[in-house]
């Protein structure tokens, strides 16, 4: 059977899933302008200039340069209305990208600078997500993130607060931030606090720091690894990931831009697929990295000869790893074509 060509149209129309998409790095320019109006915050009037302010490239020399792009966005996420706009916008982006499901990561401690409580921040975001799902028909749930560099008390409070919304769209937990200076082994108590809530964990590990962070996470029964490319080249660790069916949430273009993977030929996707790992492809920061999942898949086709059967496997891996009830996973699987 002749396969369809990989084109922007055919890939956009393919039913896709994004499990690793940070809200703060993925808001559209339209939404940011709307959010700025709420607080009369000035932004560059020219869209190209605004995009340049926010977007990083592979030539940015340090992770610090990458992270500074978030500051103007976070400043616009300090009111209930702004967070509702943000939640609605990420669902709109998911629909435009041809997604059938998304889990968006949110770090609510970043939204409390203007006086919102953690509960108010999470509730406002979920309100926007629900409104977006009602409008566009795409289910988008939230993973709430604590910050690695913060105290155990603060992280535990974030996780306990998030768990109050477990029946309203919060489906998991994560810890974000500098994984080199705050390695997984030092977060064991925080991970245990996450487990205590009953929510599953998708932990950032092996993006900018060694494979040890991934191994410790698997030892602590973390269900999914955010990024995880440093697993490549360590057969024993890869074997463990295969045995435990640990989901790997690779975000290859974003990692390429943040200089953790200097060249597309070094991206480990094909190695992970060949090893039978539960690897997935995701966007991470749609605006900051200037990528959507359609573009990500097209780039992987160009640089790594990704084909339709492999894309189907990646999508099924994402469904298996999604923080969803089995009945919802079955519904998603029914939407994935056997052949393309």
Order of strands across the sheet that contains 16-22: 16-22, 99-106, 140-147, 170-176
According to the model, what pLDDT value does residue 266 have? Answer: 60
* Per-residue pLDDT tens digits for 317-327: 999 999 999 99
pLDDT tier for residue 339 given thresholds of 50, 70 and 90: confident
pTM over 0.85: yes
> Which tens digit of pLDDT belongs to each residue from 205-221?
988 888 999 999 999 99
Range list of β-strands (E), the chain: 16-22, 99-106, 140-147, 170-176, 202-205, 224-227, 247-250, 278-281
Residues 6 or more apart in contact with residue 51 via CB below 8 angstroms: 29, 290
- pLDDT, average across residues 221-249: 95
Specify whether the CB–CB gap between 164 and 121 falls below 8 A.
no
| Residue pLDDT, tens place only, 254-288 | 766 554 554 554 678 889 999 999 999 999 999 98
CA–CA separation, 222 and 228 (whole Å): 12
- As a whole number of angstroms, the distance between CA 25 and CA 284 comes to 8
Superfamily of domain 8-330: Metal-dependent hydrolases (3.20.20.140)
What residue has token string 């009369």? 40
> Could you give the percent of the chain with pLDDT greater than 70?
92
Q: Residue 1: how many CB atoms within 10 A of its CB? A: 4
Confidence category of residue 294, pLDDT binned at 50, 70, 90: very high
123, 207, 249, 296: the catalytic one is 207
Return mean pLDDT, the chain. 92
**What pLDDT, on the 0 to 100 scale, is given for residue 26?**
96
Q: Which backbone phi and psi does 280 adopt, to 5 degrees?
A: -130, 165
List pLDDT tens digits, range 58-84.
555 455 555 677 888 999 999 999 999
- pLDDT reported for residue 263: 54
> What's residue 9's pLDDT?
96
Sequence-distant (6+) residues with CB within 8 A of 233 are none
Is residue 90 pLDDT above 60, yes or no? yes
Q: What is the mean pLDDT of residues 7-19?
A: 97
* Selection from 217, 222, 147 nearest residue 178 by Cα: 147
Radius of gyration of the chain from Cα atoms?
A: 19
Which pLDDT score, from 0 to 100, does residue 61 have?
44
Query: Is residue 52 over pLDDT 90?
Result: no
Q: d(Cα 39, Cα 21) in Å, to the nearest integer?
A: 25
Determine whether 207 is an active site residue: yes
Predicted local distance difference test score (pLDDT) of residue 53: 85
Can you tell me the mean pLDDT for 3-27?
A: 95
Residue matched to tokens 């592979």: 58
Across the range 89-100, mean pLDDT stands at 98
**Residue 146 falls in which region: left (phi positive, over 0), alpha (psi -120 to 50) or beta:** beta
Number of neighbouring beta carbons within 10 Å of residue 217: 28
How confident is the model at residue 91, as a pLDDT? Answer: 98
271-284 core/surface letters (b: 16 or more CB in 10 A; e: else): bbbebebbbbbbbb
Q: What is the pLDDT of residue 58?
A: 54
Of 1 and 76, more confident: 76
């Amino acid at each position: 059977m002749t396969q369809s060509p990989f084109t922007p149209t055919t890939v956009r129309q393919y039913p896709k899933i994004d499990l690793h998409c940070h809200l703060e790095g993925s808001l559209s320019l339209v939404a940011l302008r709307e959010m700025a109006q709420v607080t009369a915050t000035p932004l560059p009037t020219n869209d190209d200039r605004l995009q340049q302010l926010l977007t990083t490239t592979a030539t940015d020399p340090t992770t610090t340069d990458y992270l500074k792009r978030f500051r103007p966005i976070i400043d616009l996420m300090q009111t209930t209305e702004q967070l509702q706009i943000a939640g609605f916008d990420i669902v709109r982006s998911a629909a435009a990208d041809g997604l059938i499901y998304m889990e968006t990561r949110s770090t609510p401690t970043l939204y409390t600078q203007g006086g919102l409580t953690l509960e108010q921040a999470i509730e406002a975001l979920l309100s926007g997500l629900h409104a977006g799902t009602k409008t566009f028909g795409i289910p988008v749930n939230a993973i709430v993130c604590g910050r690695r560099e913060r105290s155990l008390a603060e992280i535990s409070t974030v996780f306990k607060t998030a768990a109050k919304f477990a029946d309203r769209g919060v489906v998991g937990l994560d810890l974000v931030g500098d994984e080199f200076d705050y390695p997984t082994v030092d977060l064991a108590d925080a991970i245990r606090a996450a487990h205590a809530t009953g929510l599953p964990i998708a932990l950032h590990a092996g993006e900018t720091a060694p494979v040890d962070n991934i191994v410790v996470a698997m030892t602590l029964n973390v269900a999914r690894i955010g990024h995880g490319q440093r697993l490549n080249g360590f057969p024993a660790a890869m074997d463990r990931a295969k045995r435990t069916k640990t989901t790997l949430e690779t975000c290859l273009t974003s990692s390429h831009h943040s200089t953790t993977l200097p060249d597309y030929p070094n991206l480990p996707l094909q190695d992970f697929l060949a090893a039978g790992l539960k690897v997935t492809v995701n966007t991470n920061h749609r605006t900051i990295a200037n990528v959507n999942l359609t573009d990500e898949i097209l780039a992987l086709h160009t640089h790594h000869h990704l084909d339709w059967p492999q894309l189907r496997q990646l999508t099924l891996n994402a469904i298996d790893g999604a923080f969803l009830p089995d009945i919802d996973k079955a519904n998603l699987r029914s939407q994935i074509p056997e052949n393309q």
